[in-house]
Structures are given as structure tokens and as C-alpha cells.
Structure 1
């Protein structure tokens, strides 16, 4: 197995349905549950300040039966502020995806921890990806129809000027997809396949299809 000396073998896990973090992206989070406040306090004491975002898996027995999808994305705490009543507003910067190997027994920890593997996701640690087959005009036309159908507004100038990865990843994280659809976007092996998955999800939503039919 390849070694990743700058990435720990065991990380804290934050299983949050519908919350998608991708490499080189930023995810704001509101932390208020006592167990996750403890998780944040412990993460801030480490050199890496990593927290693993994983979609819960509601299907019994699937993915090893531990109630988590196998693939998640670790984020580094890059910003945090405390409110007067003890809550935290934090930002995670996406570092790398990982594969869950096993869950570590609770012990004295009130939050979940997992042993993970970073193998196969080395590209996540590099520079921004390019999508050479990206037809931006066609994509933005599709997005315009999607936003209009849901009565959403957008800063179209910013969308037009954003680079490929920022545009695709930001929309993947922000659009209102269900957890299984978010997981499909996370697991896409490249920016091009994530963009293709995103287009499929948008087109299917415009046709009024149910997410259950799409994900089968």
C-alpha cells in the first residue's frame, strides 16, 4: 500500500446528508451538536486539522453495514469563528477523497472515527483539473432552463467567467440534489465525468423524473 505521510490513517467523520465537499472546493458548516463541537476541538489540535465528510448510507447491509458510503472527502479547517452561545461557523477546504476501510470503536470519543485509505485519489492533491470536452455555452443554456424551472436566480457573469473546475464543482455542491446523487458526483473519477453526471442529473430533473428511477 502506498504511503501518504501528510495524511493520517484515522480521521474524524462527519456524516451529513446532502453535504458535498470536493477537492479544492470550500464548504461552510454550522457546528452546534456537542459531539461535533468536540470533534472540531480535537481536529484543531492536530497538524492536519482534517475532518472527513461522508454521506450516510440508509440501506442496511450496504457498504459494509456501518451506515456510511465507502468514499468521502476530507477537508482542512481553514476558517472558524465562535458565536456567543458556543456554536461554530467553520469552512472546510477540500483536500482529498478517501475510502473508508473500517470504523474505529468509540472508546472515549463521542463522534465517529474511521480508518481510511487515500490510495487512488492522488490526483485530488494536484492542481485544478481541466475539461477539454466542455461545451460551456450548451451547459449554461441547460443551467438557465434548470434555474428558470425552479425560479432561481444566478450571477451569470460570474458563472461565465469561472474556470471549468470551479464551475462544475460549485454547482455539484450547491444544487439541490439528494444524497445518492451527491455521492455519484463525489465518486466521479474525473472532472469530465463529474460534468457529465451533473448534466444527466439536471436533464433528468427537467424531465420530471424521480431520483429513485435515475439512481437504480
Structure 2
């Protein structure tokens, strides 16, 4: 598999999938430098979650390279960008660098294109998604949902679902679309259960 040097943006709770978009507001000086350098090179940034929110925390092993699409710069030097998912990657090693931001060597993960679900798996997912949305009080245009292809639907829900960072990481690391769909259904069932005194359950 191909490897490359990747400048990373470690952000808890944020994952990106190939083919999807992630809007980001960049305000910290080190990540403003990251975006500035990326724009001068290949416009690519690696999104990856740290295992803990503390500074310098170890990284999870899988992230996703995003290409900077839309860019808006504020007068004080901040950026509003939209990352477009290119490829998942597995971290080989973190590099010793002098840049303000962290860099890794990553091995690109070659995901199959145009993955599909069985009709039963798709129906099971949509049924569980309706239950989950109703339980959480979300308003969803189910007519539009039904028009989405399997990859866009499953990866899109995985990216925005209100799960803890470990759950979202598990979704990102799933080997294929069918496995991700199965895990997503399990997580919706799990998170759909509430304890009146403790609030929403998590996997932490």
C-alpha cells in the first residue's frame, strides 16, 4: 500500500469519510499554519482523533485525508474551510517535526468503490434510524434519505451521529460498508436507551 507524509489535525469527535465533506473553523495559530502550508502544497490535511483530549495525546490508528475545497479567510487570519474526504489512512508512525502541528507517516487504505448493502440490511438500518431519530427528537426528511445511495447514507450518518469519540472511531475503522452499517444499528440501539438519572449512555 502507498504511504505518505501527512500533516494532521487531531480533533476529538470529528471524523471524515472519503467522498463526504467536513466544514471546519480554524482559529488556533498552529492550525492556521497547517492550513496555510497545506494551501501552498497539495491542499491536504489528515483528520484524526486523539485518544484523549489532552495536548499531545496518542492518536487513534485510522484517520482520513481531506482536501481543502472552499476557503474563506477572516480579517484576523482565521479560516473557514470545507474538507472533502479523499482516503482513509492508517498511521505508521508519528514524525519528529519542527512545525507547530503534528505530522505522521500514513498508509493509505484502499476502500472498494461503490459499496452497497443488501435490501434487508438497508431496510433494517432505516427502521432503526427512524426509531433513533424519534427517540432523540430529531426532525428528518425521510423522503430525501430514501434517495441516498448506501455509501452516502451510512458514512454520512456515521460522520454526524451524536456518539462518543470511541464509537465514532469504531465506525471509521470498520472494514467495509456492511460492517459499518451493522455497527451503526447496534450503536443506535445502545444510545437509544436512557437512564433517567444518568442521562444518555455512552461507551466510555
State how many pairs are aligned: 198
SS at match of 1:135: helix
- Name the residue aligned to 2:198: none
1:122 aligns with 2:110: yes
Query: Pairwise CA RMSD of aligned residues?
Result: 2.1
Shift of 1:83: 2.3
- Name the residue aligned to 2:23: 28
Question: What is the correspondence of 1:30-179 to structure 2 with a 5 Å cutoff?
Answer: 30-46=25-41, 48-58=42-52, 67-107=58-98, 109-118=99-108, 121-123=109-111, 127-132=113-118, 134-179=120-165
Tell me which moved more, 96-105 or 126-135. 126-135
TM-score, normalisation: structure 1 = 0.84
- Deviations for 1:92-120, whole angstroms, at most 9, x for unmatched residues? 1111111112111131x1111111122xx
Separation in structure 1 between the aligned mates of residue 153 and residue 120 of structure 2, nearest angstrom:
11
Separation in structure 2 between the aligned mates of residue 137 and residue 40 of structure 1, nearest angstrom:
41
List runs of 5+ in structure 1 lacking aligned partners. none
TM-score, normalisation: structure 2 = 0.89
List runs of 5+ in structure 2 lacking aligned partners. 196-200
Contact 1:165–1:191 (8 Å) recurs in 2: yes
Separation in structure 2 between the aligned mates of residue 193 and residue 153 of structure 1, nearest angstrom:
26
Separation in structure 2 between the aligned mates of residue 141 and residue 132 of structure 1, nearest angstrom:
14
